[in-house]
Amino acid sequence: MDRVFLSLVLLVGVASAKNLGIVDGKPAEEGQFPWQVSLQVLVPGLGWAHVCGGSLISKNRVLTAAHCYDSSLHPDYNPELVATPNDIAVLKLATDANTDIPQIGTIPLADVEDDFTGEECTISGWGRTGGDQPISNELMFVDMQQISNALCAWIWGALNIFDEMICIYDPPKSSCNGDSGGPMVCSGKLAGVTSWGQVGCPGSTPSVYTRVSSFIEWIKEQ
Instruction: For residue 216, give the H/E element and its range.
Output: helix 216-221
Cα separation, 10 vs 29, whole angstroms: 10
Check 38, 55, 87, 124 and give the catalytic one: 87
69-105 residue pLDDT tens? 765 587 777 766 667 789 999 999 989 999 999 899 9
Check 55, 174, 175, 180 and give the catalytic one: 180
Nearest to 57, CA basis, from 15, 16, 24, 104: 104
Q: Which residue has the higher pLDDT, 156 or 81?
A: 156
pTM: 0.86
172-188 residue pLDDT tens? 888 888 889 999 999 99
pLDDT value at residue 70: 61
117-130 residue pLDDT tens? 999 999 999 988 77
Domains and CATH numbers, the chain: 26-221 (2.40.10.10)
Looking at residues 57-62, what average pLDDT do you find?
95
Cα separation, 114 vs 110, whole angstroms: 6
Cα separation, 213 vs 196, whole angstroms: 18
Active site (annotated) includes residue 180: yes
pLDDT value at residue 13: 27
Active site (annotated) includes residue 67: yes
Contact 40, 47 (CB under 8 A): no
Check 67, 136, 174, 179 and give the catalytic one: 67
Contact 19, 178 (CB under 8 A): yes
Active site (annotated) includes residue 7: no
pLDDT value at residue 71: 54
